Chain A
Amino acid sequence: MKPAPFDYAAPNSIEEAVALLARHDGAARPIAGGQSLMSVLAFRLAAPALLVDLGRIPGLDAITIGADGVTLGARVRWRDIEKDGRLSGAHPLLAAAIAHVAHYQIRNRGTVGGSLAHADPAAEMPGIAVVCGAEITIVGARGERTVAAGEFFTGALATVLDTDELIVAVRLPPWPAGRRWGFEEFARRRGDFALAGIAAFYDTDAAGRARDVRIGVIGATNRPCRLPAAEAALEGRIVDDTAIAAAAAATRASVDPPDDLHAPAAYRRALAATLLERALARARR
């Protein structure tokens, strides 16, 4: 299908873009790579009066690595992350997860900010932001604010973003050397949205026990979230087969996916637990 008609503006600054969004009071939508929005428009799930293209705004495409972690500008593309050789050391979980995002052509245009704003429950970037405790910087008509990723997503395709607000960056906290981690997802075709995915990481104390355990899930819940019960099953313990089995059982009990076209609920629940086992097996190697 073809999108319904809309007007188009390509402002040169964030201030101009925000002013355009504010003036249209919910009838305007921002577009960057368009890799989610274009199909939404084609299906006429949205019919905005105006598209505000962020493509000409300078300063949104930097990847900054520093003492406060990894900051990704909103217009950083999957390709940019893939090609940035620093990230496999500075944030290996991010690099591994982003390797699963979409297909070759989409990776050349799809952006970090677009994925966060679109908020697909199965998307990798929102999941990584939540499990890592990222901060999302947002600019709107009333100024700038920073929102914790855990509070940013409110449901499937739903966020706290107001209609006049834009994501400008997301910051992932520093990744200590020696942190144990694993990322596993399953999709029927590589690059398609995951039926489920798990990110798991922890640090280890002098006795080899897991500390600051984080476990996040995508695809099996209505928004990306952490699994506190599974984290608690590992916290302060040696990550051995028994501990992994306990965390997997907690995962099965924690997720409550609906039946849908792609998989029955029981399948997704079992898949999440299996992926957790695999992620932890990788983490403890």
Chain B
Amino acid sequence: MTVRFDVNGRRAEVAVEPRTSLADCLRHHLGLTGTHLACEHGVCGACTVLVDGEAVRSCLMLAVQAEGRSVVTVEGLSNDAALSPLQAAFRRHHALQCGFCTPGMITTAHALLTEEPDADADRIREVLSGNLCRCTGYVGIVEAVLEARAAYRGHKADAAS
């Protein structure tokens, strides 16, 4: 089947089997290997992407279900010029070691802070409870997301003015 959707602001048209997950479509058909797959059944959160601005597990969504939607992957949340506020905060707080879970952490945290830039530590922990990290013990990740809030408050103010 042919499926058409936007990926990181670009139009994509891909021929996929109906059983292809959005995650496999992004990685294998579109070469966007920043989205990581670990459990492939909705437990670990590594494959989190944004669909119409909402964080979803791309292993639990069929590529054909993305028809007409707007998908943003971790590649779409970065640029070559400078680290994003979340990336910079993750580096500063040592919020990653092996880095495998990091794309899912960044996409999930981005969705959360875009919607709730004042999220407190409890809320951040609750939201990130769907993302497994086997290296850090999470403390650095929570601290990084807390610190990155300032940048999202700024964005919200900019958008409003």
Complex Cα distance, B67 from A191, in Å, reads: 29
Q: A108, B56: Cβ atoms under 8 Å?
A: yes
**A35 adjacent to chain B (CB < 8 Å):** yes
Selected contact of A191 from candidates B19, B41, B112, B130, CB within 8 Å: B130
Contact with B along A3-47 (1 / 0, CB 8 A): 111111010000000000000000000010011001101110000
Number of A positions contacting B (CB below 8 A): 31
Interface of A is mostly: loop
**A55 adjacent to chain B (CB < 8 Å):** yes
Chain A neighbourhood of B57, CB < 8 A: 35, 105-106, 109
Chain A neighbourhood of B17, CB < 8 A: 5
Chain A neighbourhood of B73, CB < 8 A: none
Q: Which of B40, B48, B129, B130 has the most CB of A within 10 A?
A: B130
Complex Cα distance, B118 from A82, in Å, reads: 18
Complex Cα distance, B1 from A39, in Å, reads: 22
Q: A103, B41: Cβ atoms under 8 Å?
A: no
Query: In the complex where A4-B19, A8-B1 touch, is A109 in contact with B61 (Cβ < 8 A)?
Result: yes
Complex Cα distance, B55 from A18, in Å, reads: 31
Chain B neighbourhood of A42, CB < 8 A: 40-41, 59
Nearest residue (CB) in B for A9 is B18
Selected contact of B65 from candidates A4, A53, A104, CB within 8 Å: A53
Q: A106, B1: Cβ atoms under 8 Å?
A: no
Chain A neighbourhood of B126, CB < 8 A: 104, 190-191
Q: B18, A38: Cβ atoms under 8 Å?
A: no
